[in-house]
Amino acid sequence: MTSILLAIFFGLFVLFLYGPMLAIFTLSLQGPDGALTFPLRSFGFYWLGQVFQEQRVGSFVDSFQRSFGLGVVVVAVTLIVSVMASMAFRSQFKGSKALFYLTISSLVVPGVLISLGIGISFQVLGIQTNWFSSGLGAHLTWTVPFAFLIMLGVFNRFNPFYEEAAKDLGADDANTFKEVVFPLIFPSLIGIALLSFTLSYDEFIRTSLVSGQKNTLPLEIFGMTTNVTSPALYALGTLTTLFSVAMIGAGFGAYKFLSRQ
């Protein structure tokens, strides 16, 4: 009896998680006469194609390209900074505790305040806010602390004897990192890359006040919710979900491929 109740509870939990997504997927598969609510009027892929067309108040394609490009840059910067910072924190140095808490505080401060602060700073400096400059800085205040914490945990379990053995065999610091450290932390880097891209791709609050005149995809969707009353929004949700699954598959495939090398 207990197992049956637990199975029912788990089924309801899964339905609660994925029920809204299933509703979005279903409503996106309609013909030209499709509506925003059930019941379905027809079946088709019309609105999936409309996502790639110019909308009345903007373009999903342009905003997606901006979010994708920004996400790629965020991943690259986050990986470099988090690895270098976590390796520096393997040994205590003066001011390390203060720097650690300062880094983590970015996760505690509300995102809208960080966005507002970055916007004011750019205004004082006389620099125009834009999605690829101030927007990049806003996203890094979100992704770098998470990646930094993950890498600290990775290096806390890292056996330093591997590095010592490599150096005993004549390897310098660069070769030690390339041949020993990097292969061991590579799976964690793939996870950090996927996490960083997801956080950047979905970020709304920290981008809201610093994106400039051109929106990222979350801002574009928010702006269209009050103007675009068509299943095109549902179709976009379906396509972005498939895109996210593809990114996960690509990350897993890259790990499997490189692990054979």
Task: State residue 57's pLDDT score.
Answer: 66
Structural domains in the chain (count): 2
Task: State residue 169's pLDDT score.
Answer: 85
Domain extent, residue 31, equals 23-56+232-261
Task: State residue 85's pLDDT score.
Answer: 93
Whether 8 is in a domain gets the answer: no
Does the pLDDT of residue 195 top 90, yes or no? Answer: yes
Are 117 and 243 within one domain?
no
Give the dihedral of Cα atoms 131, 145, 88, 98; nearest 10 deg.
110
pLDDT in tens, 68-109: 999 999 999 999 999 999 999 988 888 888 999 988 888 889
Are 39 and 149 within one domain?
no
Are 220 and 179 within one domain?
yes
Are 80 and 46 within one domain?
no
Whether 239 is in a domain gets the answer: yes
Are 68 and 179 within one domain?
yes
- What is the average per-residue pLDDT within 200-221? 91
Instruction: In whole angstroms, give the CA distance from residue 254 to residue 75.
Output: 15
Does the pLDDT of residue 232 top 90, yes or no? Answer: no
Instruction: In whole angstroms, give the CA distance from residue 202 to residue 143.
Output: 12
Are 203 and 254 within one domain?
no
Does the pLDDT of residue 228 top 80, yes or no? Answer: no
Q: How remote is the C-alpha of 155 from its chain's centroid?
A: 23
Whether 259 is in a domain gets the answer: yes
What CATH number corresponds to the domain at position 193?
1.10.3720.10
Are 261 and 158 within one domain?
no
Whether 11 is in a domain gets the answer: no
Q: Average per-residue pLDDT in the chain?
A: 89
Task: State residue 261's pLDDT score.
Answer: 62
Give the predicted TM-score (pTM) of the model: 0.89
Are 65 and 183 within one domain?
yes
Are 85 and 49 within one domain?
no
Are 81 and 208 within one domain?
yes
Task: State residue 2's pLDDT score.
Answer: 85
Whether 246 is in a domain gets the answer: yes
**Does residue 24 or residue 55 have the better pLDDT?**
24
Are 156 and 251 within one domain?
no
Whether 208 is in a domain gets the answer: yes
Task: State residue 230's pLDDT score.
Answer: 81
Are 162 and 257 within one domain?
no
Tell me the CA end-to-end span of the chain in Å, nearest whole number. 50
Whether 3 is in a domain gets the answer: no
Instruction: In whole angstroms, give the CA distance from residue 131 to residue 203.
Output: 12
Whether 16 is in a domain gets the answer: no
pLDDT in tens, 4-31: 999 999 999 999 988 988 999 999 999 8
Let me know: does 202 contact 218? Beta carbons within 8 Å: yes
